[in-house]
Amino acid sequence: MPAKKKGAKVEEPVAEEKPVEKPVEEKKRKAEDAPAEEPEAKKEDTEQEKDDVGDKRSALKNTIGFSTPDTTLNVVNTMGGKVLMSMNEGGLQYLIGGARANVGMKAGRYMYEVKIIEALNPTEAAQTSKGKLYGTRQTLRIGFSVAGSPLILGEFDDCVYFDSDGQVGTGRIKRRLPELQKFGRDMTMTVLLNLDSSSDNANTISLFREGTRLSKPFKLPENLVGNTLIPHICFRNVSVYVNFGPSPTKPLPFKCRMIQSAAEKDTEAVAAKPPKDGKYEVVLPVGFPDEGTFEWLDDFLEKNPSYMELSDRKLKEWAASSGLGRHGGGSNDKPQFKYGFHSMDNYSLQKIVSHVAPLSARNYIIMEVKSNLNKDERTATLKRFSSQRFKKLARVMMGEPEDAFKQKALARILKAKQVRVTAEWQNKKRVQKQQFEKKKQMKILAEKKKEAEEKRKKLMEEAAKKKAEAEAAKKKAAEEKKAAEEKEGKKEEEEKKDDDKKEGEAKKEDETKKDGEEKKDEEMKDAEPKAEEKKDEKKEEEKKEEKKEEKKEEPEDEPMEDLGEEPPTAELDEEEQKICFFPKTGQGDLTPQVLNTAFVHFSLPTKEEGFDEIKYDWQAESAANEYLRKYVLEKKASTRIDGLTPSQYFKDKLAAWNKQKVDWEAKLQTFKSSGKKKDNKEQAAVDIFAVADVNDTGGGEPLYANFEAHDWALLQLRYELHLLLDSFKHDVNDPDRINIPEAHFPFYYSKYYSKQLNPKMFTLDGIPALVKLVKDTVVLDGEKKLLTSALTDDVSSLDIFVKLGEESRRERQRRIDAGDETARLKYVPPAVPKPVEPKPAAPKPAAAKPADPKAAAAKPAAAKPAAAKPAAAKPAAAKPAAAKPAAAKPAAAKPAAQAPKASPVGVIQTPGKTGGAAGAKGNEKGGKSGDKGGKFGSNPAWQTPAQQGGNEKGGKSGDKGGKFGSNPAWQAPAQQGGKSGDKGGKFGSNPAWQAPAQQGSAKGGGGKGWQGDGDQSWKNSSSGGQSWQSNSQSHSQGWGKSDSKGKNDSKGKNDSKGKNQKGDSKGWGGKGGGKNQGGKSWGW
């Protein structure tokens, strides 16, 4: 109930208040109806701009618009300057376009309007590898700039503008004002410039949107005050409508005239005047790389701002101004484009600019260092520009530059040096400050360490003092105790006076001992003060040493170098003052690869190429021509031709030489085998160069009869160097390049012969020493270091090289005979690489089928030697009929219960479980004939006899058996080692039975087949089990019995004298019988 009352009390005043409040509000509104316009009046009072008063001065007569030279290449001016559009193909869609009007303001208050009427979204932006879309963002900047400034607002200081992102920019700085907002499509934006000196808002700029103020009057930068300011618009991916007047589409809260209605005295025409003859100029600067090319260009543009630069450098600057970032790489002439946009990075931008530029009437200066030095490329560039609209000029800068250019270059060098000197000074100051702080910190730490050490010593002294006091108290207590004991002893002595003499003597002895101890105690007492004195002395000495250490620890600080408060002033030395061009940085104007391939085509421009005028800025035409010729010759002498390839001319000559050399070597072998030879005197009498045929100097003896290995090597070297020079001259086909520089000689030798030139072959160091060996053929110029030919006449016959080789050989021999050992050549023949044998293809395993058990007792069908041919290696023809183990039970076999079960061919046999005691290692070691048994491999089939038993080492008959392979079939018996063959055949890849004729008998004879003892081919010794063995009596390779002592010994299946004790077995031999022939052996 109380709750309800409270609720009623609350509701009642609310119900009463509503009807009371309404009439009060209505009364207030009615009372305020009369002054309802006061807020509007207040707004007018707060608007800082006032209505424009009438101006009787004459208005502007010229129509305001945009002239072509004051727009970027991607701007399309349409509808009489009312609409500005941009091209959006070939990479231009990523670049901001700029347009500056042809009339500027120098006084008064005027405005103009801009409206975005179209927004574009190029599709390529989605394909960028960076995954960013900033390159296609719509952009609009509206403001003012000064004449001659760059066309992209925000990239220079002399401008002020508003950005569609809601920012105001002054020069390169952007800032966001609280009242500014973003603006976009279909919004009429008005820019107001107040240069009226009588106004309170003089030298300010304001922005309005749809006639409503969007920003307060913003003060102009100081550098713009007093200058003529020109309307300037920049945009990207939008089309804009521009209204200069005379009437606004969206009036402002106050009356204001538009620029088209401005007084003529408040404006200034700033449009470039068209040329008198109606032709604009196209200038091609021609100069050498890294010799002031771009420096000259910068000076030219500074003096002639109306010229537009066409170069990759300028395109990169344009991209950076458009917000695509800056990156290095490449050369000045061809910098790298890596923006992540396909049409930018594939040089489509350069192509479209080269096509658009001739369509736009303005002055151009085309800076292409390499292209402007090449006749064909210059001609192609000029053809793009119509002779009716453009005048084509060439400006040549070669040789020593003029003094004004030199001074500017030296000023740049000095400035760069000053930067380096200042950086070094700042680095030294930084290091010096760090050292000072470090020393200061070290002093603080030393003081803290000293204080801690003093505290530690005090604590130690106090502890030592307490310890001494404790020891003294202890000593005193001991003395008191001793004194009490002495008193008690005396009493006892008096009481025991009646003791016998012995006891008295004992007491006397005790007293004497006690007297000795007392003396020692007294001596100790006397020694204690002395020890304390010594301790005090030691402490004093320690204190002195500590003081000395403190003095040592605190050395005097070395005075620091006074670097001053300002960096030193840089000066150029004598060598630097002689420099004419600023040193190149990075790759320079051209990369080495481009320069090395292009310099041979450098030439001076001529009027035949299409130039209307050629001007030489630094030196006259003749001097420039001479300078060019020297430059090219020096480059040819120091630059190798990386792209040179051996021609067919070289290949034919080399093939003919190789054939001739082989013929000479063959004839020399024939002559040596004949045994004919002249004596030394007769040989020396032969006139080398009078010999008509080097193959016969008389009696069939060739001129090269005494050639040794090093003589043939020198002969080959002579011809190779001669042919290299000859082919180089032929392939290069340049009269200035007939010789090879020493530095490039190894490169060209490797290029032509596909091998390295190796002076170490003759134990020499360096190419000059090697060339000296064949100086009769080629020589190395010491001054120019060029490899030149020593043969004056054309070589028509290869005999000349043999004659030169013989002459050189005789000269060396003469010197050696005279005792000159330095003439002896130390020749190291090159190592001949062994040819790599091709690996045989891996055979497919053949499935072995078990033979017919009825044929077990039959002799092998392929036992004749005729079956040994390779053609008989097929499984069907070569498989013996008695191959199945099932039929191989011996006549005198073990008891039936012990007989092993035969497994089919191709199945791994199961070893017996019971091994003979004496044959524990039967598999590892065979009998006397075979030192080691074959190691069992992974072959699931019957193995070759050579591989089973005596695999590692055969018996007396064969030193080594065949190596075990992976063939899953019966192998050829021929792979066994016989007496006549020291080594058995290696396991082959034939998956079938091989011809029995390939076997080697125990004594070297040809095997007649699978032979055993007598007529039996499968024998089983009870002591040795079945194996592939050679009978010691019959020396046959087969399944024969191996033990000459009988089938079974008295010891039965575990007989130590069983099989392989004395036999010539090469098979599965073990010393014991049973299923497990020797433990590790696979027995039967």
**To the nearest whole percent, how much of the chain has pLDDT over 70?**
65
The pair of structure tokens assigned to 819 is 């005792």
Q: Is 87 left (phi over 0), alpha (psi -120 to 50) or beta?
A: beta
Q: Is 616 left (phi over 0), alpha (psi -120 to 50) or beta?
A: beta
Per the DSSP assignment, residues forming a β-bridge with 529 are none
pLDDT (0 to 100) of residue 177:
87
Q: For the segment 720-763, what is each residue's pLDDT rounded down to a tens digit?
A: 999 999 999 999 999 888 899 999 999 999 999 999 988 998 88
pLDDT (0 to 100) of residue 626:
94
pLDDT (0 to 100) of residue 1010:
39
Cα gap 442→627, rounded to integer Å: 65
**To the nearest whole percent, how much of the chain has pLDDT over 90?**
40
In sequence order, the 6+-apart residues with CB closer than 8 A to the CB of 450 are 550
CB atoms within 10 A of CB 873: 19
pLDDT (0 to 100) of residue 838:
64
Q: Give, to the nearest 10 degrees, the angle between helix 312-321 and helix 348-356.
A: 100
Instruction: Give the DSSP H or E segment for 652.
Output: helix 648-674
Q: Give, to the nearest 10 degrees, the angle between helix 501-553 and helix 403-495.
A: 170
pLDDT (0 to 100) of residue 649:
94
Question: Average pLDDT for residues 17-40, to the nearest whole number?
Answer: 41
Phi, psi angle pair for 1054, to nearest 5°: -105, 40
Cβ contact 205:217 at 8 Å: yes
pLDDT of 764 higher than 70? yes
Cα gap 525→720, rounded to integer Å: 108
CB-side neighbour CA atoms (13 Å) of 510: 10
CB atoms within 10 A of CB 450: 14
Cβ contact 116:169 at 8 Å: no
pLDDT (0 to 100) of residue 582:
87
pLDDT (0 to 100) of residue 729:
92
Say what the alpha-carbon torsion angle 33, 34, 38, 40 is, to the nearest 10 degrees: 60
pLDDT of 575 higher than 90? no
Cβ contact 993:880 at 8 Å: yes
Confidence of residue 506 (pLDDT cuts 50, 70, 90): low
Question: Average pLDDT for residues 90-97, to the nearest whole number?
Answer: 91
pLDDT of 677 higher than 60? yes
Question: Average pLDDT for residues 381-405, to the nearest whole number?
Answer: 93
pLDDT of 1022 higher than 50? no
Question: Average pLDDT for residues 481-505, to the nearest whole number?
Answer: 75
Region of poorest pLDDT, from 249-258, 523-532, 702-711, 942-951: 942-951
Higher pLDDT, 520 or 811: 811
pLDDT (0 to 100) of residue 1049:
41
pLDDT of 850 higher than 60? no
pLDDT of 874 higher than 80? no
Q: For the segment 592-614, what is each residue's pLDDT rounded down to a tens digit?
A: 999 988 999 999 999 999 999 99
CB-side neighbour CA atoms (13 Å) of 110: 28
Is the peptide bond between 567 and the residue preceding it cis, with omega within 30 degrees of 0?
no
Angle, CA of 219, 224 and 228, to the nearest 5°: 120
pLDDT of 924 higher than 50? no
pLDDT (0 to 100) of residue 493:
74
pLDDT of 552 higher than 70? no
Question: Average pLDDT for residues 194-223, to the nearest whole number?
Answer: 93
Region of poorest pLDDT, from 189-198, 235-244, 528-537: 528-537
pLDDT (0 to 100) of residue 146:
95
Q: Is 691 left (phi over 0), alpha (psi -120 to 50) or beta?
A: beta
Instruction: Give the DSSP H or E segment for 342.
Output: helix 342-345
Measured on CA atoms in the order 798, 804, 805, 806, is the torsion positive or negative? Answer: positive
Average pLDDT, the chain: 75
Confidence of residue 928 (pLDDT cuts 50, 70, 90): very low
Question: Average pLDDT for residues 929-958, to the nearest whole number?
Answer: 39
Cβ contact 238:119 at 8 Å: yes
pLDDT (0 to 100) of residue 47:
77
pLDDT of 291 higher than 70? yes
pLDDT of 870 higher than 90? no
pLDDT (0 to 100) of residue 191:
97
Cα gap 260→63, rounded to integer Å: 7
